[in-house]
Structure 1
Amino acid sequence: MSVTIKDVAKKAGVSPSTVSRVIAEHPRISAETSRRVREVMEELGYHPNMMAKSLVSKTTRTIGVILPRPAEELLLNFFFYELIRGVLAQLTRAGYDLLMAGGSNEREELDTVKRLVRGGRVDGLLLLYSRSSDPVIHFLREEKMPFVLIGRSLDYKNVPSVDNDNIQAAYDATNHLIAQGQKRIGFVSGPASLAMTQDRMAGYTKALSEAGLPFKTGWVVEGEFLLESGYRAMASIMSQPEPPTALVVIDDVVAFGVLKGLAELGYRIPHDVAIVSFNNIALSELTMPPISSVDVGTYQLGYTASQMVLRMIQQEDITSRQIIPHRLVVRESSLRSVSIR
């Protein structure tokens, strides 16, 4: 026979309504009463009916994560798992569940968000991307739905967001290569519509300009956040009459493809081509050679974004944009051991 709320109330020496208030986290319930009731709930193995609780409290205790399209590409990138690990750590601590959703195109993404919001299935949302003229952000602002963007909005001011200073991060990565004596530096980019790509491109070009080094369109290749994208980029970028001797790469997984492509073309890393990438995922130090990478605090991005959206749900004041510090982790891939050609 299943344990009921009356069983918990009897053993804890309180009324069933008090147990209900503890479950709903009512502010007038003392910490001592709440602790005693929750200890009895655990002892008896009582689990609240969350659907019934939602009907009473008008909350779902669920946060939605909207995946960028195509979501299957994101799931191939280790950056995503570290980000979600940070999200889950905060949500679990706060007693919230996570729901992931997305769409294969812009219309499907917006339809999904409308279904979640208007269907009352989530209390708040996390967006893992930022694009130009994004209808999802426009809809969420109109609906006054709590949401936090991991990244930077290209169109709206004061959007709650957690981000890195991607201009400075790319500037630092490029300057590291310049400090190594590199003069022909290329850039393996992400989708041009993303704010992150635009910011990292800006940091790269700023560093080149300040050093008086050339920017050549043939040394810049746009792609996706996939190993295959980095691999394909090498056939194009290294076929230039005067190819670059160093590369800034948008993402570690893309850099894995760059390593593969360069090896097949007969280039040695770092002797012929030096590489710096971003995200510092665990596998970046296990490649041959290990990859220099900008650590963007991926776990902290997810954790802080979750923390912000929960505070918004509680109608607490937040700083609209939080910046997570980055640091360059230098490894063998960017340290030239022979003279520059």
Structure 2
Amino acid sequence: MRKLPTSKATQAASLIEQAISMREWNGMLPSERFLAEELVISRTCLRQALAILTSKGVISAPERSKRRRILITSKTKKRLNQVVLLTPKPELGSNKNLLEQAAHLRGFLSKSQYQVHILSPSLTNKDSATEKTIKSLTENFPLALWVLYQCPETIQHWFSKNQLPSIILGSRFPEVSLPSLDIDYRAACRHATGLLLAKGHRKIGFIRFRSKLAGDSLAYAGMLEALNNSGHADIEAPCVFRHNFSAENLVHKLNASYTSANPPTAIICINTHHFITTMTYLVGAGIRVPQDVSLICLNSHEVFSSFWPEPTHYTTGNRLMKELTQMILNVKASGSETHILMPDLVTGKTISHCP
């Protein structure tokens, strides 16, 4: 029977050596900080593990401000074995829905022996991410396929330019040559706007992020198409709420509108957290949903089943993660194709005739 390592440092050294043999890293080890976080050990314990590998000739001796070189080569065939979900949304934050989707993805990929990671570095929240910062991030995962979720245009262009195995989960910016999987927000928002127009609403609000996200722009384009093609002469210009990632900021903008003389009688929200913030604000302000204001969300969340009235929203169920799994397993054949899913309407009870 194989003898198990006894100390944490010996166990860590064994895990790192195994990863090297599987060619998870190319030429250089990741940074000490990254390795310590991945192995859930202290820097002191990690350095003891690295000293063991140095004495065995697996990696180079430490050099000031430089990463350790890998000194052995493996005959193991190099293959993608990791999926990194890159997103500006924090893994341990308010977006529980993202974690649920990642859990589904892990389940679908488990038989193919893929590891699924979620990364939310600060550079994904900035349009000014540099080539150096993105390259430094990707070097820690040389055998990864990257799933870019709600990433800014600069990051999509960088992955496209450097031809790293990647899939955009969401809408693709112009001149980006990467496969993408998207929900048809344009068609969904056009349909949602049509529902509201049919119920007599003529001033409709639209909530989107202040930052430039391709999906937000497509949804808004669908809304404008429905308004412009409706044939109604009394339609007012849509009231667009642009905000950052703060609920407080969105509430401030909503309050300014709903204390004015002519607020919108209906609102379309792209994201579920927009919907939840908006609905709770309206209830707190004594504004009834849907009697006074109608609400529609273009996405779904499991918490919606606990809401009353039940939100009117759109959903793809498990179809999104199932389709993404197939694209990951066949990434070489995907080219720069765009796969579009049309969500289903859940009628709910948050839309009504214009008061």
Q: Which residue of 2 aligns with 1:325?
A: 342
Q: What is the identity, as a one-letter code, of the residue corresponding to 2:216?
A: T
Question: Structure 1 or 2: larger helix share?
Answer: 1
Contact kept in structure 2, 1:292 and 1:333, CA below 8 Å: yes
Higher relative contact order (CA 8 A, sep 6+): 1
Gaps of 5+ in 2: 5-16, 24-73
Contact kept in structure 2, 1:311 and 1:317, CA below 8 Å: yes
Equivalent position to 1:122, from 143, 150, 153:
143
What is the deviation of 1:127? 0.4
In 2, the alpha carbon distance for the partners of 1:262 and 1:232 equals 12
Residue 172 of structure 2: SS of its match in structure 1?
Answer: coil
Equivalent position to 2:158, from 139, 149, 170:
139
Equivalent position to 1:216, from 227, 231, 237:
237
Equivalent position to 1:231, from 240, 244, 251:
251
What is the deviation of 1:169? 0.7
Matched, 1:52 2:71: no
In 2, the alpha carbon distance for the partners of 1:215 and 1:82 equals 38
What is the deviation of 1:288? 2.6
In 2, the alpha carbon distance for the partners of 1:293 and 1:230 equals 20
Q: Which residue of 1 aligns with 2:2?
A: 2
What is the deviation of 1:230? 4.4
What does 1:24-173 align with in structure 2 at a 5 Å threshold?
49-54=18-23, 55=74, 56-59=76-79, 61-68=81-88, 71-72=89-90, 75-105=93-123, 106=126, 111=132, 113-119=134-140, 121-132=142-153, 134=154, 136-173=155-192
Q: What is the identity, as a one-letter code, of the residue corresponding to 1:124?
A: L
Contact kept in structure 1, 2:178 and 2:336, CA below 8 Å: no
Q: Give CA-to-partner distance per residue, 1:136-177, whole Å, 9 cap, x none.
A: 333323332210001122222542000011111101111111
Contact kept in structure 1, 2:170 and 2:180, CA below 8 Å: yes
In 2, the alpha carbon distance for the partners of 1:262 and 1:307 equals 41
Q: What is the identity, as a one-letter code, of the residue corresponding to 2:107?
A: A
The alignment of Structure 1 onto Structure 2 pairs a total of residues equal to 287
In 2, the alpha carbon distance for the partners of 1:191 and 1:303 equals 30
Contact kept in structure 1, 2:167 and 2:181, CA below 8 Å: yes
Matched, 1:285 2:305: yes
Segment drifting more, 138-147 vs 100-109:
100-109
How big is the alpha-carbon RMSD for the aligned residues of Structure 1 and Structure 2?
2.8
What is the deviation of 1:130? 4.4
In 1, the alpha carbon distance for the partners of 2:134 and 2:101 equals 20
Contact kept in structure 2, 1:64 and 1:100, CA below 8 Å: yes
What is the deviation of 1:99? 2.2
Contact kept in structure 1, 2:188 and 2:342, CA below 8 Å: no
> In structure 2, do the counterparts of structure 1 residues 194 and 293 end up closer, same or farther at CA, with 3 Å as the change threshold?
same
In 1, the alpha carbon distance for the partners of 2:229 and 2:207 equals 20
> In structure 2, do the counterparts of structure 1 residues 119 and 250 end up closer, same or farther at CA, with 3 Å as the change threshold?
closer
Q: What is the identity, as a one-letter code, of the residue corresponding to 2:121?
A: G
What does 1:197-216 align with in structure 2 at a 5 Å threshold?
197-211=216-230, 212=232, 213-216=234-237
What does 1:169-208 align with in structure 2 at a 5 Å threshold?
169-208=188-227
Gaps of 5+ in 1: 5-47
Residue 332 of structure 1: SS of its match in structure 2?
Answer: coil
